[in-house]
Structure 1
Amino acid sequence: MGSPAPRAAWVAGGVALAGWALVGLGGGGIDPGDGLGGSGPTAAFLTLALGAPLAAVVVVLAWDRVALRTGPVRLALGACAGMAAWAALSMLWAASPTLAWIDANRQAIVLCALVVGAGLGALLPRAPLLLGLGLSAAALVPVGAALLTRILPELLGADSDLARLSSPVGYWNALALIAVVAAPGALWPAGARPAWRGGLSVGAAGTTLVIVTVLLTYSRGGVLALVMALTVTMAFVPATGRAVAALAAGAAGAVLPAVHGLTDPALTTDGLPVGQRADAGLGLGWRIAAGLVLAAVLAPLLVRAAGRVGLEPARARRIGLAALAVVVLVTGVVVSVVPEARGWTGDRAAEFRGEEGDAVANDPGRLVSTAGNQRRGWWGEAWRGFLDAPVVGQGAGGFALVHLQERATGDPSLMTREPHGVVVRFLSGTGLVGTALFAALLAAVAWGVLRAAGGRAPPEIGLPLAVMAAFLLQAAVDWSWAVPALTIPALAAAGVVLTSGVTGRVPGARPGPLAAAGLAAAVLIAIASAALPWWSTGRVLAGEDALASGRTAEAVRLADQARAANPVAPGPLLLLARAHTDDGERARALGAYRRATELAPDDPGTWRALALFLGRDRTAAAAWREVHRLDPRDPEAALRAG
């Protein structure tokens, strides 16, 4: 019989993994802060509301573990807590306090994931291996649901579906990284030592599923992250030869379904009615099934073939390096000699330099495009936002408003709410203070990695390291930090690495009254912080429905409830103004619109609402000038501001 703490830790770990799988199903927990509600904001609310108590329970269970008292863990937890607190504090000066509140909740989710990972890493034996395998199993839920939307479109799809695979997460790059997170644990059984029964087949089939999913998202960042995750995993896996065989078999199994999914017009055309995609979807389904079987059968055959020819690890490495050199040499010759290859390479170089325009189409061809897809412009906008407030930033999560002021084009299809880079995100949003806290978190993780390496950590440490490396690579060029479904596994992996290899207990250590009260207060604050803006948005949406049905009195009541829950959001005031307008009370409506502009003076949306309400009134031009100041590329504002 084990001690109560480990048994409870197993339960906590299972709950955490199940919760992460559900976050993936629930729009990835993505909350853009646009007030439209949906599964993403609801998942974000539930993640923090349930994750904070779970983190507190894990802290209590691991209170006597030496691992939680080491320098790297304390630095990481302090940095994470500081990031959440600073994001919340930025509501005082943020251009959009409600966006800062949402982002503070995101940082709190990051802290909870780190705490749970560190605590379970201190409690559970072989935590790195358990994490890797657990993430692979949990990822099957959103990944399987995503593939089924393509295989069974009439049952699970919609006529408005885009060709790029993104549902149920809602963002293709995020779905790709969820699949990548599953890759290390999927491949590990093939290269474990001693060998696991059926490990080769499981590893190969799992790799096939991951590769197909990543390719069908058309995510270039996902492909790079997958290469990173597999490279790190291969560097640590004990039986490298067996893992290589599983990887090769998995890649072979992915060819048939990937080619079909990337070339069949019924699967690569946006907005095609589900009835026209049914046959192609079933074709994708049987090809995936065939690919899984092929991979599972081929991997053991490759290992047997290598054994018959006496291909020892050292010789295999030499052959592999020689083959790689031949491939590079042949590629160089082809590019130099063949005009078509030389032209193709020149086109990719021009894309990289941005000479042919920086936007990339959402079709399979983007997988070989080297264009930045607007990132250089977005990073420049974030940098200029940082220069305007270098110490404290523009407010956490406030790049959406910075972008409107700094963007170089009025094309609505090129608009964004995130700068697509984690460093510029912190620089623009929370300034040097927030960036320094983020750097401290990275330093703590690096410290933990070096300590684990010096302490001769088990090879399983490669599993969380692979997850972290893949996440950081994608976060450097995307908005992964704003997606809870991505930060949760990455920070949990960081927590496991930080406590890996540190054993021992502090006799008699248990939370005192002050510590227990502090934990309880932190949990209550986190739950309230998650619930209030979410509930306020729900009241506004209900008020919109009431207004559409002519129930203005109910809309006013709901607007008042929404304002009480979230007094920094302009949405409730705008709802109140529309309700008063419908009642014919223009003076009260005007007052509500003006209070909204006072509450969010740097948000062009509030000024636009006021300007539209004023209509032909001569004072409307002043409101339009404010819209133009805050969004100079808005063509309507430029015209009406005079």
Structure 2
Amino acid sequence: MPPSVYPPQFGAKTARAPQALGVALFAACLYAAFAGGAIRTPDEPRLQVGIALITIAAAIIGVIAGTPTPTVPRRVRLGVGLLAGFWAWSAVSLAWSASPDGTWVATNRVFAYLLVLILAVRLGASLPNAIMLVRRGALTLSLVILLYALGQKVAPGLHVGGLLNLDRTGQYARLQAPLAYWNALALAFVLGAPAALTLALTPSAPPRARLTGFIGLELIVVGIGFTESRGGFLALAVALAVTVLLSPDSLTTLIWAAVAVAFGALGLVIGLLAHPLTGNGVSLGAREQAGVYLGVVLVAVAVLSAQLLPVLDRLPAALTRPRRRRLWRSLGYGSLGLIAVGLIGAGVSHRGLGGQISHLWQSFTNADTIATSGAGRLLSASSANRIAWWGQALAAFSHRPLGGWGAGSFPVLNLLYRHSTVAVQDAHSVPLQWLAETGLIGTLLAVGAWGTLLRSGVAAVRRAGGDRVDPTRLDTDPARRRLAAIALLAPAFAYTVHALYDWDWNIPGVTLPVIVMLGVLAGSLAGPGTDRPTVLVVPPPVTPSPTPSAALRLLGLAAITLGMSLYGISAVLPGAAAADANAALVRAAAGTPAALRQARAQAARATALDPLSGAGPLAAANIAVATGELGIARDDLLEAIQRQPTDEPAWVGLAHVDLQLNRDREALVAITRALALDPELGVDGYLSLAENAIAANRAAAPPAASPTAIPTP
């Protein structure tokens, strides 16, 4: 591990600065998780303002201490630079974006990730035990989220004022709080699984910590099961597989993981048999009784599994080299046997092998083959309509392959390319959404940044040592360091796989922890290798290392403070404008002259705060329609359309106003444009509106524009 970049002459207080940075990043991740994943306003802007304040604080401490910037390898700088390039490209895409306000929000999000990555790299380079610290934080974060989530099943009646309310699964049984999305919640559990396993494996760790890790892994299996997330189980398999493959003693690690998962599965299966825990619309009393039953089951399973820890501890010494070879061979043959049994079973079934494959493919492509909840959902092969959203993303990419439609524009693309009435905000595949929104250029930048960071993480694991130690000695320093580094790298691979079929990049609650882990691993590559003794060489007094002058440091601090202040304003403005626009509509509903005056003022403020959004002009248009000022309403609608020509509600509103103003031909144009932006509008009755306008004009409506002909700003 690298020596601290903080010189000894600044004392212990300054040396604690990296630890404070680690605590601040942990607090940001914790807030993001318990703010519904920080995917909505005002939670995400608050998180971004907090990250900006952490950056300013880190800069102030650096200026006061006069600490040098850690020198990290070129690949780390390349990863940071590529992510910065993706942020810049997202901002540039505003010039042609189909959703300018969405691009603004998406660009702010990427910049927050960039800041966190830079801070995490500095943490990894500045603190010798940063990897150990972050592993502890990752496990703590995951367990806090896990206990809160499982509390909704075990003690749903627990309610403490406005601070805590675990009655979250009455209407819908699947666990999703606190991240507000079940798949994201399952992934949040998975991010702590490698830390739990590696901590349990370390003989020199405190017994309570090892027991916490082992039982924590069991509960993670239970938690994922109650989210009913198939993708969560796949991500868990990836995380544990990477941990096993990179471990100094893969066989021992595999056995520990298998035992913990088996006990967790036992508790899960018993829990899933209780209908009040898996059924929707169950009364609170029934869920409380079932919760007591589940709690007893989980405690019993934990106590039973804890009795096996001494036996598992003796495994490395008992597994001699010949026994290891035989066991690996048996595992290989057993895996092949299971595959053969599965193929034979499929072949002798009434569908046959080919019929089973065809049935699975049909289930995958048919969104109607999956239950909304229940244990049976875990065995379904349905893509849950993902294949349709992936097709929309690919179709959008095919029309604009180079630059895409603009960062954050998929909600518009979904309306444009959908073939059903289902509207979504994300493509449920991060790479495909990158292709649709930022084109090939943006995708190459993003994928390049992520791949480079993963490579840096692998290099950090190798550099930690422990791959050449005696596998029976997991308590050596190299083995402990390697296990801790694996605990940060394995979640990143699990996240990468999970992002292939979900929208994790737009959920800071699960993305921030992974960026912190990868950043700390990358930062640990600074300084001398850990396989060699670390020596802090002090240069002779006659040739001191050049350090920036106080004036230059203050100038840099001023620049960072100004930049972060501007970023904070940028983060807050879109949400503040949207809040004003919504408040204007609510206030206008009162109908009194005073309320209408205040509503107009709020709509005008929303219009001024966010020059890229049509929400303010749309609110003003609705108020004008309510007061009978149709001419003013039409001007407001035209301004909304000028800001965002792909705003379908604005075109529909314009059509209504034009019809009332007897501007039938203009209404036809507006309706045609709305239908071009969302062809499924006809299902909701707007097509009949167009036909009425056509009859009034005694003219044929112009043909609907093709997706590629839609004007963009």
Q: How does 1:376-415 map to 2 (within 5 A)?
A: 376-407=387-418, 409-412=419-422, 415=423
Match of 1:431 among 436, 439, 452: 439
Match of 1:581 among 615, 620, 625: 625
Cα deviation, residue 479, structure 1 = 0.7
User: 1:316 and 1:615, CA in 2 relative to 1: closer, same or farther beyond 3 A?
Assistant: farther
SS of equivalent to 2:307 = helix
User: 1:380 and 1:159, CA in 2 relative to 1: closer, same or farther beyond 3 A?
Assistant: closer
Aligned to 2:20: 11
Alignment of 1:74 onto 2:77: yes
User: 1:402 and 1:314, CA in 2 relative to 1: closer, same or farther beyond 3 A?
Assistant: farther
Match of 1:524 among 558, 562, 565: 565
Cα deviation, residue 513, structure 1 = 4.6
Task: Mark the runs of 5 or more structure 1 residues left unpaired by the alignment.
Answer: 32-40
Instruction: Between 1-10 and 160-169, report the one with greater CA deviation.
Output: 1-10
Aligned to 2:134: 131
Cα deviation, residue 576, structure 1 = 1.4
User: 1:178 and 1:65, CA in 2 relative to 1: closer, same or farther beyond 3 A?
Assistant: farther
Match of 1:322 among 309, 330, 334: 330
Aligned to 2:494: 470
Report % sequence identity. Answer: 29
Instruction: Between 191-200 and 78-87, report the one with greater CA deviation.
Output: 191-200
Cα deviation, residue 238, structure 1 = 4.3
Cα deviation, residue 351, structure 1 = 4.8
Alignment of 1:205 onto 2:246: no
Cα deviation, residue 348, structure 1 = 5.8
1:445-475 C-alpha deviation (Å, 9 max, x unpaired): 2452464366455413212211211111111
8 A Cα contact 2:73 2:525, kept in partner: no
Match of 1:623 among 645, 662, 670: 670
User: 1:337 and 1:96, CA in 2 relative to 1: closer, same or farther beyond 3 A?
Assistant: closer
Match of 1:611 among 655, 660, 667: 655
User: 1:454 and 1:259, CA in 2 relative to 1: closer, same or farther beyond 3 A?
Assistant: closer
8 A Cα contact 1:121 1:128, kept in partner: yes
User: 1:148 and 1:346, CA in 2 relative to 1: closer, same or farther beyond 3 A?
Assistant: farther
Aligned to 2:3: none
Instruction: Between 436-445 and 566-575, report the one with greater CA deviation.
Output: 436-445
Aligned to 2:475: none
Aligned to 1:37: none
8 A Cα contact 1:87 1:104, kept in partner: yes
User: 1:563 and 1:340, CA in 2 relative to 1: closer, same or farther beyond 3 A?
Assistant: farther
- AA paired with 1:103? A
Measure the CA separation in 1 of the matches of 2:144 and 2:268.
20
Match of 2:511 among 484, 487, 511: 487
For normalisation by structure 1, the TM-score amounts to 0.90
- AA paired with 1:368? L
- AA paired with 1:406? Y
8 A Cα contact 1:189 1:203, kept in partner: yes
Measure the CA separation in 2 of the matches of 1:380 and 1:122.
43
Instruction: Between 344-353 and 371-380, report the one with greater CA deviation.
Output: 344-353
User: 1:330 and 1:342, CA in 2 relative to 1: closer, same or farther beyond 3 A?
Assistant: farther
Measure the CA separation in 1 of the matches of 2:136 and 2:349.
42
Task: Mark the runs of 5 or more structure 2 residues left unpaired by the alignment.
Answer: 1-7, 159-165, 466-480, 529-535, 537-543, 692-713
Measure the CA separation in 2 of the matches of 1:467 and 1:15.
21
Measure the CA separation in 1 of the matches of 2:359 and 2:601.
54
Q: How does 1:587-606 map to 2 (within 5 A)?
A: 587-606=631-650
8 A Cα contact 2:59 2:557, kept in partner: no
SS of equivalent to 2:207 = coil
Q: How does 1:161-240 map to 2 (within 5 A)?
A: 161-192=171-202, 194-238=204-248, 240=250
Match of 1:30 among 18, 22, 39: 39
8 A Cα contact 2:461 2:486, kept in partner: no
Instruction: Between 329-338 and 75-84, report the one with greater CA deviation.
Output: 329-338
Cα deviation, residue 185, structure 1 = 1.2
User: 1:391 and 1:568, CA in 2 relative to 1: closer, same or farther beyond 3 A?
Assistant: same
Measure the CA separation in 2 of the matches of 1:478 and 1:578.
36
SS of equivalent to 1:584 = coil
1:105-141 C-alpha deviation (Å, 9 max, x unpaired): 1101211221121011011113222212211102223
- AA paired with 1:629? A
Aligned to 2:694: none
Alignment of 1:570 onto 2:614: yes
Paired positions, count: 628
1:250-299 C-alpha deviation (Å, 9 max, x unpaired): 22432343124434332223344434433223322332333333333333
User: 1:48 and 1:484, CA in 2 relative to 1: closer, same or farther beyond 3 A?
Assistant: same
Aligned to 1:86: 89
Measure the CA separation in 2 of the matches of 1:208 and 1:573.
53
Stretches of 4+ moved more than 6 A in 1? 338-342, 344-347
User: 1:122 and 1:214, CA in 2 relative to 1: closer, same or farther beyond 3 A?
Assistant: same
User: 1:234 and 1:532, CA in 2 relative to 1: closer, same or farther beyond 3 A?
Assistant: same
Measure the CA separation in 1 of the matches of 2:128 and 2:197.
21
Measure the CA separation in 2 of the matches of 1:337 and 1:418.
38
SS of equivalent to 2:382 = coil
Measure the CA separation in 1 of the matches of 2:279 and 2:352.
24
User: 1:197 and 1:261, CA in 2 relative to 1: closer, same or farther beyond 3 A?
Assistant: closer
Measure the CA separation in 2 of the matches of 1:247 and 1:344.
35
Match of 2:308 among 295, 298, 302: 298
- AA paired with 1:98? D
Alignment of 1:370 onto 2:419: no
Cα deviation, residue 193, structure 1 = 5.1
User: 1:446 and 1:573, CA in 2 relative to 1: closer, same or farther beyond 3 A?
Assistant: same
- AA paired with 1:452? A
Alignment of 1:286 onto 2:330: no
User: 1:538 and 1:355, CA in 2 relative to 1: closer, same or farther beyond 3 A?
Assistant: closer
Calculate the aligned-residue CA RMSD, in Å.
2.9
Cα deviation, residue 398, structure 1 = 0.5
8 A Cα contact 2:228 2:377, kept in partner: yes
1:132-173 C-alpha deviation (Å, 9 max, x unpaired): 221110222322222222233344225763222111111111
User: 1:314 and 1:400, CA in 2 relative to 1: closer, same or farther beyond 3 A?
Assistant: farther
Measure the CA separation in 2 of the matches of 1:182 and 1:529.
33
8 A Cα contact 1:580 1:588, kept in partner: yes
Aligned to 1:542: 583
Measure the CA separation in 1 of the matches of 2:294 and 2:310.
25
8 A Cα contact 1:200 1:242, kept in partner: no
Match of 2:274 among 264, 269, 279: 264
For normalisation by structure 2, the TM-score amounts to 0.81
